[in-house]
């Protein structure tokens, strides 16, 4: 209503200025029908608007004047000078009241009554003439002035202010170089303040209440509901939120499409809702709110929701996703398939939606203005889509920093803090090959920009600072920074399409040094790096929020070359590296990775790609190293499953566990190192005492193997109840027991002098069986 009132005030004042000369001409010649009609139309328009806006005083005045003018037009009254003067006084009074509406000033009502009484007297004609009424005193006519200007002019003004900001930045740089005197610096600061005020004023001229975006929705919902035979109640909240008018126009089509989808195949028919135990009247709620420098628009319906399983089926049928990858999707990731081109959840094509196009375009349009779109849905309960867009992208405060890859900028709104690595405030460490920053007890995943951009340059020597960043989902990660230069207000413009397509840039800017640089997109960086909250939640032991640190008892989850999700014990992962597939070749009858003057045997549980990058899990059992090739991309660290279903036969996979609702195969490291088959497993669980050997190999390699063979493992040297003993000391070690129940292991593949090769699975099992049988 405030928007409509402001529009009424502007239009009425504009009309008064337009007909001012016509009123004077009509007063000179009251019989001029054309000018009489102009005055009548003005008063009639004011009366109609006042009725809609509930402006009773203005409506009564304009109604009385309209009645008199209509009688003049019909020839029922003669235009005597007193009557004309009274009508003109009422028109002046309308102007006074309109100005008071805008300024909020109080206006004496007695003048209105006097004008109406004078109009009644002077309309009769004859000898009785009412005295002229002063419509307004000079101090009352002091309104807040406004004009209408084309949006193109505002754009030109904003462009001029952008150039002014650039010039201010350049002047700042020059003053820092020449070390000017205090008076010059004071004058520059004053000028900077004026530029900032001008920028803010012109920026706000481009702002518009988001109500203009919502105004067409009630009619849209009404018409579509009628066409679909549904009853839907629309609730709109936050219409007073303001947003750049250009962004409002960019959001109009995406919002319309989302509403159409919600009504067409989101909200059920009355019969379906009744059968589901719901109110037959559907509900659609659209809300807008400001959060920092962003506007969030949520669209929520209480319909049938989205079935993630059916969505995955349609995605596989449409060729949008590989069937093997589809099996591993969580419900949250499955919902993201709705944004795939050519995918629709509608059963039939209709005139409203379900043509297999749209949601990908919706996301594209939102991301084009620097926004994001997120979806949440519960089957049978409804769906919510949240659009997050910036207030404006024209001029933003940003931090300029340097890395080994060059200079970049990032919005200050997304920076939580800058931490120096030289002061001990933070330290970097590797968890299973994934780099983690520990900052005051918090463990945050690290992103190295040069590695992400494929520059190939090492940033180790340049790692001086960490920029702790927040993505749009409140996730945090640390960006390695070599130098922090300055905070500046940057004029941001879109970069070339090929650059923006990478997803990690928000645009290009020209800082005060005159050299163009790229503005980074925080959410895009997080997505491109494949970050997960689980990596950010790892801390030393059990913390206040139940957070934990990755330990040898954890599992590293990855995607294997055959597309399956698998896990390996964290304690065996020495580090994770990315290698070019050209560095892997068959040599001496096996695949080997040649890197950094070292050759390591490679295990590939699938077909290596012809070209590109593969991720290498470097496994170490304490004395030997093995390279396990997997797909590049996301890895995660979780607690090793307490139970899992064992495999039916020996092989590279020892079993399968359910993790986060999806099946994950458990890698058998002993099989990988030994490359042998399985042996028989005892039905009972006798005790096996393990002595000697490297602690890591003994616990992570040997113990799981013995347990898989049906034994309970003990490491207590004083254990006298063990049925068999495994001495993992080297064959040359002194003091090896000669007891009949001892199986002696050796690192020598020849396995001489009655010792069993430590990776001879069959030999170990056979020796254990023999010693157990000898004990009766």
Provide the pLDDT for residue 550.
40
With respect to residue 318, please indicate whether it lies within any of the assigned structural domains.
no
Whether 35 and 83 have beta carbons less than 8 Å apart is answered as: no
Which of 21-25, 284-288, 464-468: highest mean pLDDT? 284-288
Provide the pLDDT for residue 292.
58
Contacts 24+ apart (CB under 8 A), 200-203: 202/154, 202/157, 202/158, 202/161, 203/158, 203/392, 203/394, 203/395
Q: Specify the residue for token string 């754009």.
A: 155
- Higher per-residue confidence, 609 vs 350: 609
pLDDT value at 318 more than 50? yes
What CATH number does residue 219 fall under? Answer: 3.30.565.10
User: Model confidence at 303, in pLDDT bands (50, 70, 90)?
Assistant: very high
Domain extent for 489: 395-536
d(CA 486, CA 467): 13
Q: Do 357 and 217 belong together in one domain?
A: yes
- Higher per-residue confidence, 738 vs 769: 769
Distances (CA, A) of 72 to 21, 45, 68, 121: 20, 18, 6, 15
User: Model confidence at 385, in pLDDT bands (50, 70, 90)?
Assistant: very high
| DSSP codes, 219-277 | HHHHHHHHHHT--EEEEEE-TT-EEEHHHHHHHHHHHHHHHHHHHHHTSPPHHHHHHTT
d(CA 367, CA 393): 12
Q: CA nearest 393: which of 491, 472, 488? A: 491
- Higher per-residue confidence, 382 vs 719: 382
With respect to residue 106, please indicate whether it lies within any of the assigned structural domains.
yes
Q: Do 466 and 432 belong together in one domain?
A: yes
Whether 191 and 168 have beta carbons less than 8 Å apart is answered as: yes
pLDDT value at 366 more than 70? yes
Q: Do 726 and 629 belong together in one domain?
A: no
- Give me the percent of the chain exceeding a pLDDT of 70: 78
pLDDT value at 159 more than 80? no
- Higher per-residue confidence, 72 vs 735: 72
Q: CA nearest 398: which of 505, 266, 305? A: 505
With respect to residue 665, please indicate whether it lies within any of the assigned structural domains.
yes
User: Model confidence at 471, in pLDDT bands (50, 70, 90)?
Assistant: low
Tell me the average pLDDT across 31-48.
Answer: 86
- Higher per-residue confidence, 417 vs 583: 583
With respect to residue 146, please indicate whether it lies within any of the assigned structural domains.
no
Provide the pLDDT for residue 129.
55
What CATH number does residue 460 fall under? Answer: 2.40.50.180
Note the pTM of the prediction, 2 decimals.
Answer: 0.43
Residue 342: CB atoms within 10 Å: 12
Q: CA nearest 252: which of 283, 203, 217, 219? A: 217
Tell me the average pLDDT across 146-175.
Answer: 75
Residues 6+ apart with CB under 8 A from 207: 242, 243, 244, 245, 391, 392
d(CA 96, CA 138): 10
Q: Specify the residue for token string 């109500």.
A: 211
- Higher per-residue confidence, 1 vs 357: 1
Sign of the four-CA dihedral 700, 704, 705, 711: positive
Tell me the average pLDDT across 216-222.
Answer: 84
pLDDT value at 770 more than 50? yes
pLDDT value at 284 more than 90? yes
Q: Do 598 and 657 belong together in one domain?
A: yes
Q: Do 359 and 505 belong together in one domain?
A: no
- Higher per-residue confidence, 687 vs 344: 687
Distances (CA, A) of 654 to 439, 560, 564, 712: 38, 15, 14, 18
Q: Which two tokens stand for residue 304?
A: 């049938």
Q: Do 61 and 201 belong together in one domain?
A: no
- Identify the helix (H) or strand (E) that includes residue 534: helix 533-536
- Higher per-residue confidence, 86 vs 522: 86
Q: Do 641 and 560 belong together in one domain?
A: yes
- Higher per-residue confidence, 737 vs 98: 98
Whether 722 and 688 have beta carbons less than 8 Å apart is answered as: yes
Whether 625 and 618 have beta carbons less than 8 Å apart is answered as: yes
Provide the pLDDT for residue 271.
92
pLDDT value at 559 more than 70? yes
Q: CA nearest 555: which of 635, 640, 624? A: 640
With respect to residue 769, please indicate whether it lies within any of the assigned structural domains.
yes
- Give me the percent of the chain exceeding a pLDDT of 90: 6
How many structural domains is the chain composed of? Answer: 6
With respect to residue 143, please indicate whether it lies within any of the assigned structural domains.
no
d(CA 421, CA 154): 46
Q: Do 416 and 505 belong together in one domain?
A: yes
With respect to residue 457, please indicate whether it lies within any of the assigned structural domains.
yes
d(CA 629, CA 581): 10
Decide which of 390, 421, 452 is a domain's last residue. 390
| DSSP codes, 405-454 | TEEEEEEGGGEEEEEETTTTSEEEEEETTEEEEEETTEEEEEE-HHHHTT
Provide the pLDDT for residue 738.
65
Whether 565 and 558 have beta carbons less than 8 Å apart is answered as: yes
Which of 280-289, 445-454, 723-732: highest mean pLDDT? 280-289
Tell me the average pLDDT across 604-615.
Answer: 85
Provide the pLDDT for residue 92.
85
Tell me the average pLDDT across 37-44.
Answer: 87
Residue 231: CB atoms within 10 Å: 15
Question: What is the rounded end-to-end Cα distance, in angstroms, of the chain?
Answer: 95
Provide the pLDDT for residue 737.
56
CA 224 to chain centre: 30
- Higher per-residue confidence, 709 vs 654: 654
Query: Using H for helix, E for strand and C for coil, what is the string for 363-399?
Result: HHHHHHCCCEEEEEEECCCEEEEEEEEECCCCEEEEE
Q: Mean pLDDT, the chain, as a whole number?
A: 76
User: Model confidence at 682, in pLDDT bands (50, 70, 90)?
Assistant: very low
Whether 96 and 132 have beta carbons less than 8 Å apart is answered as: no
Q: Which two tokens stand for residue 343?
A: 């995918």
pLDDT value at 163 more than 80? no
pLDDT value at 64 more than 70? yes
Q: Do 371 and 419 belong together in one domain?
A: no
Residues 6+ apart with CB under 8 A from 103: 142, 143, 144
What CATH number does residue 33 fall under? Answer: 1.20.120.160
Dump pLDDT digits (tens) for 497-533.
Answer: 677 777 788 777 766 566 778 888 877 777 677 654 3
Tell me the average pLDDT across 242-269.
Answer: 86
Tell me the average pLDDT across 539-567.
Answer: 60
Tell me the average pLDDT across 193-216.
Answer: 79
User: Model confidence at 269, in pLDDT bands (50, 70, 90)?
Assistant: very high
Whether 81 and 28 have beta carbons less than 8 Å apart is answered as: no
Tell me the pairing of strands 724-727 and 742-746: parallel
User: Model confidence at 537, in pLDDT bands (50, 70, 90)?
Assistant: very low
Whether 398 and 487 have beta carbons less than 8 Å apart is answered as: yes
pLDDT value at 717 more than 60? yes
d(CA 150, CA 142): 25
d(CA 647, CA 663): 13
Q: Do 297 and 222 belong together in one domain?
A: yes
Q: Do 404 and 437 belong together in one domain?
A: yes
Whether 408 and 401 have beta carbons less than 8 Å apart is answered as: yes
Whether 82 and 126 have beta carbons less than 8 Å apart is answered as: no
Query: Which value, to the nearest 10 degrees, does the dihedral of the CA atoms of residues 652, 648, 695, 573 take?
Result: 30
Tell me the pairing of strands 442-447 and 395-403: unpaired
DSSP 8-state secondary structure symbol assigned to residue 632: S
Provide the pLDDT for residue 139.
42
DSSP 8-state secondary structure symbol assigned to residue 314: H
DSSP 8-state secondary structure symbol assigned to residue 641: P
Q: Do 196 and 216 belong together in one domain?
A: no
Tell me the average pLDDT across 604-629.
Answer: 83
With respect to residue 317, please indicate whether it lies within any of the assigned structural domains.
no
Sign of the four-CA dihedral 265, 269, 274, 278: positive
């Amino acid at each position: 209503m405030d928007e409509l009132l402001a529009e009424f005030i502007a239009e009425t004042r504009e009309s008064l200025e337009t007909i001012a000369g016509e009123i004077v001409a009509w007063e000179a010649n009251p019989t001029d029908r054309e000018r009489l009609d102009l005055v009548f139309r003005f008063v009639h328009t004011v009366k109609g608007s006042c009725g809609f806006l509930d402006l009773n005083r203005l409506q009564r005045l304009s109604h009385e004047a309209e009645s008199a003018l209509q009688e003049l037009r019909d020839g029922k009254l003669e235009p005597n000078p007193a009557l004309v003067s009274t009508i003109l006084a009422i028109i002046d009074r309308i102007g006074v009241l309109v100005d008071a509406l805008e300024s909020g000033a109080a206006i004496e009502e007695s003048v209105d009554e006097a004008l109406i009484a004078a109009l009644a007297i002077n309309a009769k004609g004859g000898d009785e003439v009412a005295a002229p009424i002063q419509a307004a005193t000079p101090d009352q006519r002091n309104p807040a002035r406004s004009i209408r200007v084309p949006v193109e002019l505002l754009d030109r003004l904003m462009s001029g202010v952008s150039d002014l900001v650039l010039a201010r930045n350049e002047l700042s740089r020059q003053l820092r170089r020449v070390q000017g005197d205090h008076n010059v610096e004071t004058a520059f600061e004053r000028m900077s303040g004026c530029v900032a005020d001008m920028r803010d004023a012109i920026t706000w001229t481009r702002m518009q209440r988001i109500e203009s975006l919502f105004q067409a929705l009630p009619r849209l919902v009404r018409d579509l509901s009628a066409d679909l035979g549904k009853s839907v109640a629309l609730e709109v909240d936050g219409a007073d939120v303001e947003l750049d008018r250009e962004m409002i126009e960019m959001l109009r089509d995406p919002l319309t499409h989302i509403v159409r989808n919600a009504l067409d195949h989101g909200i059920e028919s009355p019969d379906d809702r009744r059968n589901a135990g719901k109110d037959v009247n559907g509900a659609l709620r659209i809300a807008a709110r400001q959060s920092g420098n962003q506007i969030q628009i949520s669209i929520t319906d209480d319909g049938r929701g989205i079935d993630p399983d059916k969505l995955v089926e349609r995605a596989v049928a449409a060729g949008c996703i590989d069937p093997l990858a589809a099996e591993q999707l969580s419900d949250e990731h499955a919902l993201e398939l709705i944004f795939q081109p050519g995918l629709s959840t509608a059963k039939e094509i209709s005139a409203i939606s379900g043509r297999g196009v749209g949601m990908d375009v919706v996301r594209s349009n939102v991301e084009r203005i620097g926004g994001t779109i997120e979806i949440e849905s519960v089957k049978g309960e409804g769906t919510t889509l949240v659009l997050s867009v910036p207030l404006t992208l024209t001029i933003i405060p940003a931090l300029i920093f340097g890395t080994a890859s060059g200079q970049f900028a990032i919005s200050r709104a997304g920076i939580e803090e800058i931490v120096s690595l030289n002061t001990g405030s933070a330290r970097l460490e590797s968890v299973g090959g994934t780099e983690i920053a520990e900052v005051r007890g918090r463990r945050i995943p690290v992103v190295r920009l040069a590695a992400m951009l494929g520059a190939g340059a090492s940033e180790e020597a340049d790692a001086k600072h960490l920029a702790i960043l927040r993505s749009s989902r409140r996730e945090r990660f640390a960006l390695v920074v070599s130098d922090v230069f300055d905070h500046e207000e940057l004029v941001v413009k879109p970069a070339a399409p090929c650059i923006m397509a990478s997803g990690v840039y928000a645009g290009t800017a020209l800082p005060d040094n005159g050299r163009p640089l790229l503005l980074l997109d925080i959410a895009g960086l997080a997505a491109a790096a494949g970050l997960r909250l689980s990596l950010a939640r790892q801390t030393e032991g059990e913390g206040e929020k139940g957070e934990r640190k990755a330990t040898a008892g954890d599992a590293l989850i990855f995607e294997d070359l055959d597309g399956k999700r698998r896990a390996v014990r964290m304690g065996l992962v020495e580090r994770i590296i990315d290698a070019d597939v050209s560095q892997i070749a068959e040599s001496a009858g096996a695949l080997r990775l040649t890197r950094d003057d070292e050759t390591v045997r490679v295990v590939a549980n699938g077909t290596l790609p012809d070209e590109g990058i593969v991720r290498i899990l470097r496994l170490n059992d304490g004395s030997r190293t093995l390279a396990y090739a997997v797909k590049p991309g996301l890895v995660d660290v979780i607690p090793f499953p307490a139970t899992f279903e064992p495999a039916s036969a020996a092989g590279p996979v020892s079993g399968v566990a359910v993790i986060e609702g999806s099946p994950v195969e458990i890698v058998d490291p002993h099989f990988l190192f030994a490359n042998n088959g399985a042996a028989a497993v005892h039905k009972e669980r006798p005790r096996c005492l393990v002595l000697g050997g490297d602690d890591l190999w003994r616990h992570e390699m040997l113990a799981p193997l013995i347990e898989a063979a049906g034994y309970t493992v003990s490491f207590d040297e004083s254990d006298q109840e063990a049925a068999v003993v495994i001495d993992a000391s080297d064959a040359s070690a002194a003091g090896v027991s000669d007891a009949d129940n001892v199986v002696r292991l050796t690192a020598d593949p020849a396995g001489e002098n009655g010792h069993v090769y430590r990776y001879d699975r069959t030999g170990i099992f056979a020796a254990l069986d023999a010693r157990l049988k000898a004990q009766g």
